[in-house]
Amino acid sequence: MIYSLIGNYSLILGLITGLILFYLSFKNFQNPKLLNSQILSFTFFQLFFVLVSFICLILSFVVSDFSNETVFNNSHTTKPLFYKISGTWGNHEGSLLLWLLVLTLFIYIFLLKTKNQSVKYKILTLVFQQIIIVGFFVFLIKTSNPFNYLFPIPAEGLGLNPILQDPALAIHPPILYLGYVGSSIIFSSVLAASCLKIVNSSWAIHIKKWILTSWIFLTLGILLGSIWAYYELGWGGFWFWDPVENVSLMPWIALTTLLHCILVLERKSILTSWVVILSIATFTLSMCGTFLVRSGILNSVHTFANDPERGLFILIFLFILIFLSLCIFFFFHKDENKKFQSFFWLSKETSILINNWFMMYFLSVVLIGTVYPIFLDVITSEKISVGPPFYHKLMLPFLIPFLLMMAIGPRLKWIKSKLDNKIYLISLLSISILFSFLILNFFNQKILINTVLISSGLYLFFITLRDFFISKNKNLSQNFAHFGFSLLILSILFNNLFSSEIITNLKVGETFENGDTKIIFKSINQKKEKNYNSIIANFKIQNSNGKKDEFFPELRIYNQPVIATSEADIKTTIMQDKFIVINLVQNQDFFNVRYQVKPLMVWIWLSVLLIASGGLISFLKKRL
């Protein structure tokens, strides 16, 4: 109770601090010789208030204070402490509070760490960031206050959705939000820089760190979400082109594009308009994602509480921000000096432009695929589904030239370049084609596009691999990221092509046998845990080469709320994952057993880590 009270007032104080900050900024802006020290301290206060609020909410969860509506809706006394805490951000109200925490944290660090930029720029960035922060404060307090009071006080909470009771998903939201919200700093600072007309090389160098920070967290956040989906949703996939996944992918694509584009801006002051648009787009897409997910306008496997009022608020807020940023863009932003010459067709600039071109295409595919059903429904009230086949058909053909460009692009020099070592570039290409042809032919896969895709993936793989050992001008971060990407594409392709599965119905004691796999359903046991009861099955699976594995997939029945889930048992090795999951069949005494062999799963995760580490290297690198 006391925590809710403190938390609530702390939130209001945070909002007031935001308003004070507006006032201070305007005062300081008229006399911008020195950054007013009050601004820094008030920014800190704001962070402090939000932090207090957040800690209060965590404490409310820890002590299971059911007079708090959020706690009542999302917790239960029997939950393990870890999930009581992670339940704090596993719900709408708490996760918005987390948003706010990250927003205030980032602007504080921004003010603290930005040294070489003008005071005016810092203040303006703060103002734009405060517009976002105050908007979120109002949103939080008005439509989704995490400290709503319940009376009479319920004796017990409703519990946390079992599929959220999972370690990966406990840390997934904070990391993802660091990425999402990190883009707010890019948004604010690009608006500030536009107003002051300082979108140039030195600004690019300064903002690159922020882009990288945001990008790394977003990459890791998506990775965690994907891993979670793989083992928790229980059907062995890791990416479903589900709207909620798409909305996290869209800012990622925009950020990646921005990251490449900023490289050009670092060296020459060109493409400034494009950088501004991309920066605005990144944050807009994050916000748009929040809107699509929270408003319940989309149909998705991931469930959130839907409330049209919240959706409306975010929608209006989102459009105000878009409108504001467009106004600034059109009024203040002047295009780069006209004296710039055209790009030579074979140069790093051109290759980055082409990267941008393809990335924007991928982004438009994801965006249109995600929102199109909404549009069609509103306009013609026809309902359609846009699923994986759509994305695959539109993206895979374009991935081929994209991969080839990824291999060649980084080898080009700025301004004007010619391809060195043509012989080895071509010989590697032919080796890749040969390999992919051999591999696929061997497994009777005769689809042309697969061969070509794998060839181009292998090509990128070989070239980046070679660059690790023999390259004159080493760009380790780029090399890591591109190598990771080639590995990612190859693992996903091989995983798709060579996954095998057995679906069968078995009773305890029965054995299933086909060609080279023998599945023995040995026994079932029961287990009682604090927050669930489970049935653990014991399987023995024998391969033709005599290798035996024991598996223990589970069926869990959570008590609060009562929901049954299937927990897969996964044996991971370097080369492949073995994945087994069981399901109850209504009114029958057998279980539905699904056994999958999925090659190279672990490489999918590792390659994403490699991509992220490329970003990290760039972040840590001292500029020469």
Partner 1 sequence: MKILNIILLISYIIFFNNALAEEQDKKNKITKNLRCLICQGQSIYDSDSEFANSLKILVDKKIEEGLTDDQIYQYFKDKYGDWILYDPGLNKNTYILWLLPLLLFLVGGAIIYKNFIAKK
Partner 2 sequence: MKKKLPPFILTLVLGVIFIIFYKGLGDTNIYMPENTKHYDVPVFNTKEFNSNINFSSSEIFELDKTYLLNIWSSWCVPCRQEHPLLMNLKKSEEINIVGLNYKDNKKNAENFLKELGNPYNKIFTDLDGTTAIELGAYGVPESFLIHNNRIIKKYIGPLNKQVINEIKKTIK
| Site residues (vs partner 1, CB under 8 A) | 235, 237, 240, 242, 299-302, 341-343, 345, 349-350, 353-354, 357, 360-361, 364-365, 368-369, 372, 376, 380, 382-390, 393-394, 398, 435, 438-439, 442-444, 462, 465-466, 494, 498, 500, 515-516, 545, 566, 575-576, 583, 585-586, 592, 597, 599
388 binds partner 2 (CB under 8 A): no
Q: Return the number of the residue (383 or 530) whose C-beta is nearest partner 2.
A: 383
Asked if 546 and 538 count as a contact pair (C-beta separation under 8 A), the reply is no
Q: At what angle do helices 2-30 and 37-62 cross, to 10 degrees?
A: 160
- The binder of partner 2 chosen from 30, 151, 155, 335 (CB under 8 A): 335
- The binder of partner 2 chosen from 379, 470, 620, 624 (CB under 8 A): 379
Cβ contacts of 55 within 8 Å, gap of 6 or more? none
Question: Could you say which of partner 2, partner 1, none residue 337 binds, taking C-beta under 5 to 8 angstroms by partner kind?
Answer: none
Cα separation, 105 vs 396, in Å, equals 39
Which residues does residue 149 pair with via DSSP β-bridges, in sequence order? 68
Question: Could you say which of partner 2, partner 1, none residue 398 binds, taking C-beta under 5 to 8 angstroms by partner kind?
Answer: partner 1
Cα separation, 454 vs 441, in Å, equals 12
CB neighbour burial string for 159-182, b if at least 16 within 10 angstroms, e if fewer = bbbbbbbbebbbbbbbbbbbbbbb
What is the pairing mode between strands 591-599 and 576-584?
A: antiparallel
- The binder of partner 2 chosen from 259, 297, 593, 600 (CB under 8 A): 297
Q: Which stretch binds partner 2 (CB under 8 A): 48-56, 178-186, 322-330, 386-394?
A: 322-330
Nearest partner of 287 among 323, 333, 327, 259, judged by Cα: 323
Question: Could you say which of partner 2, partner 1, none residue 296 binds, taking C-beta under 5 to 8 angstroms by partner kind?
Answer: partner 2
Question: What token pair was written down for 34?
Answer: 């020195």
Q: Return the number of the residue (266 or 336) whose C-beta is nearest partner 1.
A: 336
Cα separation, 315 vs 327, in Å, equals 18
CB of 516 to partner 2, least distance (A): 29
- Helical H runs in 418-518? 422-442, 448-469, 476-498
195 binds partner 2 (CB under 8 A): no
375 binds partner 2 (CB under 8 A): yes
Q: How far is CA 529 from CA 267, 311, 378, 417, 532, in A?
A: 60, 38, 47, 65, 5
337 binds partner 2 (CB under 8 A): no
CB of 294 to partner 2, least distance (A): 11
Cα separation, 535 vs 525, in Å, equals 6
Q: Return the number of the residue (215 or 274) whose C-beta is nearest partner 2.
A: 274
CB neighbour burial string for 128-142, b if at least 16 within 10 angstroms, e if fewer = bbbbbbbbbbebbbe
What element of type H or E holds 181? helix 167-196
- The binder of partner 2 chosen from 291, 459, 521, 595 (CB under 8 A): 291
Q: Return the number of the residue (249 or 281) whose C-beta is nearest partner 2.
A: 281
What is the pairing mode between strands 554-558 and 548-551?
A: unpaired
CB of 301 to partner 1, least distance (A): 4
- The binder of partner 2 chosen from 78, 148, 269, 306 (CB under 8 A): 306
Question: Could you say which of partner 2, partner 1, none residue 290 binds, taking C-beta under 5 to 8 angstroms by partner kind?
Answer: none
CB of 600 to partner 1, least distance (A): 10
For residue 509, what is the DSSP state? Answer: T
CB neighbour burial string for 332-346, b if at least 16 within 10 angstroms, e if fewer = ebeebeeeeeebbee
- The binder of partner 2 chosen from 311, 409, 457, 553 (CB under 8 A): 311
Q: Which stretch binds partner 2 (CB under 8 A): 59-67, 185-193, 310-318, 468-476?
A: 310-318
- The binder of partner 2 chosen from 118, 273, 417, 471 (CB under 8 A): 273
- Which stretches of the chain bind partner 2, using CB under 8 A? 273-274, 277, 291, 295-299, 306, 308, 311-312, 315, 319, 322-323, 326, 330, 335, 374-375, 377-379, 383, 586-587
